[in-house]
Amino acid sequence: MKHFKLYHIPIAYMLVYVLLILGTGIWLFLLSQGLESADMMQTLSQIVTLPEPKSLHNFIEVATPHLFAMGTLIFVVAHFMLFSTNIPQRFSLHVSMLLFVVALLNIAAYLLIITGFVVSGWIKLLSMGLFVLLFVLLLIMVAFSL
């Protein structure tokens, strides 16, 4: 960070806030897929073998706010990398752009399932896992830049 001590306060707050948003997002996804059952592995295998049936109308209802929220969150967090002197801007640009692509894949995964292009829910789990890993990487990069 460019030696401004007051940058640490909003960035540290943003890191905590974003981690809580990410955690509750994962929790809500798992709850919608049947997390209340006692066996977590059974829930994950159920997501892979028989994902929750969705309609195209339901997809549009879910995808619209997700596109806005995920895009805005990535946009805000990635812009903190502009002030970094520790991490090359080219690397942070690549991570940010890849994060946008994975977020779009994560949102469109249900569309792939609805249309029958993918029969299994593995694509949703894979895209969500990749999104979370890349986003945590971006958060670590921002924290390292403090």
The stretch 45-61 carries a mean pLDDT of 74
**pLDDT tens profile 123-144:** 878 888 898 889 888 888 888 8
Does residue 20 have a pLDDT over 60? Answer: yes
Q: Which residue has the higher pLDDT, 142 or 11?
A: 142
Residues 6+ apart with CB under 8 A from 111: 59, 63
Q: What is the DSSP letter of 5?
A: G
Could you tell me the residue range of the domain that residue 59 belongs to? Answer: 5-145
DSSP string, 97-143: HHHHHHHHHHHHHHHHHHTTS--STHHHHHHHHHHHHHHHHHHHHHH
Q: What's this model's pTM, rounded to 2 decimal places?
A: 0.72
Q: Which has the closest alpha carbon to 103: 75, 131, 80?
A: 131
* Banded pLDDT at 74 (limits 50, 70, 90): confident
The count of structural domains within the chain is 1
pLDDT for the residue 12 = 78
